[in-house]
Amino acid sequence: MKLVILAGGYGTRISEETHLKPKPLIEIGGMPILWHIMKIYSSHGINDFIICCGYKGNMIKDYFARYFIQNSDFTLDVKNNKIEFHHKIVEPWKITLVDTGLETMTGGRLKRVKHFLDDDTFCLAYGDDLKNVNMSSLIAFHRKKKKKATVTSVRHPEQFGILELKNDKVIDIKEKPINEDRWINGGYYVLEPEVLDYIKDDSTIWEKEPLGRLVREGQLLAYKHDGPYRPMDTMQDKKFLEDLWNSGKAYWKMWK
C-alpha cells in the first residue's frame, strides 16, 4: 500500500523555522518530522511513499537525494572515481517526490499524484504530526467497513474542528468548538481511489467539499485512536516533542 504525504504548505504558524526550510524538514531529535512519519508507517510495512512538495520543495528533494550518503560511512577514491561504502543505514523505502505547486490546496495536491496510485486503496497523511496509530488495525477496519474513506479520529481538548459520529460513521463536521474535549479529525486516512473524483482542481481544499461530500453520502468512517496526539504547529509544540524524544518517551517511536 502507498502513503501520500502532504508536505507542500507554508507552515506559517511556525515561521521561526519555516522561513528557512519547509515545515516537514523541521527536526525532532536531529531528524525531520517527515522522517519520523515515514518510520511510523514503515514499522507497519508501508514503505512506498509519495511526497507532495510545494513550498521549498527542492529542499525535501535534496534531503532524500542525499539520504543514503548522509547516513553511510564511505571511502571516496577520487583518483579512480570509486566509492566504497562501509557502515550503511538502508531503509526499505521507495520515495516518489512530486512538485504539486506552490499555491495548490490540499485536495489539489492529492489530485496531482493520482497517476502514481495505480487505482488502489492508499493512505494519506499530513507531513507535520505524530501519532502511534496501529496502521494494520486502521487498514483492516477500513477494509471491513467497505466505505470510500476512513479518517483517524483523536481526542483533543483544544479548539479544533470536531467529528460527530454514529456507529463509526461520520455524520457531521463542526468547525473549532471552544473548550470541548471531543473527537477531532486526526488525519492518517485510508482512502479508495474513487475519492480522487471528489476533487475538482488545484483550488480544492480536501478538508472542505471532498470530505463534506463523503459525509453527506455516508462514505466517511472514523477509526477511533485514544492514544496521545500532538501536531507540530508552534515552537512550543516542537519543544514538547523534542523533550519527549530526548527523554526516551516519544510515544510515536514504534520502531527499534
Q: Give residue 144's domain range.
A: 2-151+187-246
Q: Contact at 8 Å (CB) between 44 and 164?
A: no
**Residues 6+ away with beta carbon under 8 Å from 219:** 147, 148, 149
pLDDT (0 to 100) of residue 184: 86
Instruction: Classify residue 113: in a domain, yes or no.
Output: yes
Percent of the chain with pLDDT over 70: 94
177 band by pLDDT with thresholds 50, 70 and 90: low
The CATH number of residue 15's host domain is 3.90.550.10
Enter the pTM of the model.
0.87
pLDDT at 122 over 90: yes
Spell out the long-range contacts of 115-119 with Cβ–Cβ below 8 A and sequence spacing 24 or more: 116/2, 116/50, 117/2, 117/4, 117/50, 117/193, 117/196, 118/2, 119/193
177 lies in some domain:
no
Report the C-alpha gap between 164 and 162 in whole angstroms. 7
Residue 202 resides in a domain? yes
Work out how many domains the chain is built from and give that number.
1
Q: Is residue 165 part of a domain?
A: no
Phi-psi category of residue 241: left, alpha or beta, with phi > 0 → left and psi -120 to 50 → alpha:
alpha
pLDDT of residue 178: 47
In a domain? residue 78: yes
Asked if the structure places residue 81 within a domain, the reply is yes
pLDDT in tens, 178-230: 445 678 888 999 999 999 999 999 999 999 999 999 999 999 999 999 888 88
Backbone angles phi, psi at 238, to 5 degrees: -60, -45
